[in-house]
Amino acid sequence: MLSSASRLLLRRSLGPSPLASRSSSTYYSRPLLSHLLSSCPRLLPPADPEAYEPLLDTADKFTADHGHLDAILDAEEPTFHPPAASSPAGVRLSPSCHSLVSSYIAAGFHCMDVSLSLPHAVSTAVSAATMSAFTGGALGHSVLTSCAALLLDVHGSAELKERYHAKLVSGEYLGTMALSEPAAGSSLATNVRTSAVARPDGAYDITGDKMWTSGADHDLGEHTE
Ligand SMILES: Cc1cc2nc3c(=O)[nH]c(=O)nc-3n(C[C@H](O)[C@H](O)[C@H](O)COP(=O)(O)OP(=O)(O)OC[C@H]3O[C@@H](n4cnc5c(N)ncnc54)[C@H](O)[C@@H]3O)c2cc1C
């Protein structure tokens, strides 16, 4: 265990606080990422590096510009608000979290894999670069939303796609994933008990309990699904 005097000496010998001098290279290795993309043909259909390197440049800049928010997000915990006459119960996220997610959407990273139909390896590399700076789950909202939009692409009815797809991809709505249940975590395939029974009017009666639903009922998007 270092004494506080030793910690001070160590910090002086290391130079300024890492927070003051962080760059994207602090968070991940860009040369390694580019190397993996260009030299692993099994990861990527043939693609011209000139087509994806500019995306990595943009991701690099985003990380360098916003990485300092990570420590602030860690300090600003979300708060739970019980139901009131004017609003339902919900979770309020901090101004820094709102600002980071809005910047991410404005920079075009949100649901990039859905909207640009990028090869999976490229969209994963871009996500790895942008998310490398954030130890919490703030940008995970976009991952959950991509998953919801991709699920709609494959399994959604025309009506559901019409209602949700464009709004998920634009970031107006954010997605969640309600899979785990009190008696079903790793064993989803066999232990899920929730059922959905179709009614004559086209709606469903859903019975069961879900838990561990990250990103539900918060105020980042207009609507969470
Ligand atoms: C912060 C957080 C956020 C989450 N967000 C979501 C979410 O958004 N949506 C959602 O649906 N779920 C979410 N989850 C739930 C998460 O996916 C489950 O916690 C996970 O599926 C594990 O289930 P469990 O906790 O019930 O553990 P269990 O499945 O009970 O596992 C307990 C232990 O047994 C081990 N184990 C399990 N099966 C086997 C096996 N067959 N052989 C050997 N060992 C085994 C596991 O490795 C583990 O160590 C979240 C969890 C956390 C902690």
Q: Are 73 and 139 in contact (CB under 8 A)?
A: no
Residues in the chain: 225
What domains are there in the chain, each with its CATH number? 26-80+88-170 (1.10.540)
Residue 47 pLDDT level (bands cut at 50, 70, 90): low
pLDDT of residue 139: 94
Give this prediction's pTM: 0.82
Tell me the torsion sign for CA atoms 99, 102, 104, 110. Answer: positive
* % of the chain with per-residue pLDDT over 90: 58
CA distance 54 to 31: 14
> Which atom from ligand 1 is nearest to the alpha carbon of 177?
9
pLDDT in tens, 61-117: 999 999 999 999 999 999 999 988 888 888 999 999 999 999 999 999 999 988 887
User: Residue of the nearest CA to atom 14 in ligand 1?
Assistant: 212
pLDDT at 6 over 70: no
Q: If you take atom 48 of ligand 1, which residue's CA is the nearest one?
A: 186
Tokens found for residue 89: 């119960």
Pairing state of beta strands 173-174 and 79-81? unpaired
